[in-house]
A = this chain, B = another copy of it.
Amino acid sequence: MNAPQLTKNQALVFEVLEKADGPLSAYTILDKLRDHGFRAPLQVYRALEKLLEYGVVHRLESINSFVVCAHPNENCHSHGTVAFAICESCGHVMEFHDHEVDHRLMDWTRGKKFKAEKTTIEIRGLCETCAA
């Protein structure tokens, strides 16, 4: 899905995520936007819903947080599942694709006649810097 012009709230939420150097929870975003008039969680969640729909933000299921897409230009999400490596020490996230993984999982779902809608791949651990 291509992102149309963002509304004011959507743009504010996106900016906060863009400036952050790691994933943020919805409530952290809310706190960062109180000065801009945000008062309630729903203002954040509604904006996130759209940003997710447009594919410019990803949700990290394993840590209930949100992060900007690392591949804003390539339309990477149209050709496979996105995977994430999340450092549990510094919070840094790496987003990547692996077609071979996609194909293996697709093979499995085809074999089981399972109709996949949304696939989550998240690796939690320590990044190179933090593991040293």
Seen from chain A, the residues whose Cβ lies within 8 Å of a Cβ on chain B are 61-62, 83, 85, 87-88, 94, 96, 98, 100-101, 104-105, 108-109, 112-128, 131
Knowing A61-B61, A104-B98, the reply to whether A113 touches B125 (Cβ < 8 A) is no
Q: Select A123's contact among B96, B119, B123, B131, beta carbons within 8 Å.
A: B119
Interchain Cβ contacts under 8 Å between A and B, 18 examples: A62-B120, A83-B105, A83-B108, A85-B109, A88-B117, A96-B108, A100-B100, A113-B127, A114-B123, A114-B125, A114-B128, A114-B131, A116-B123, A116-B124, A117-B124, A118-B124, A119-B122, A121-B121
- Work out how many copies of this chain go into the complex: 2
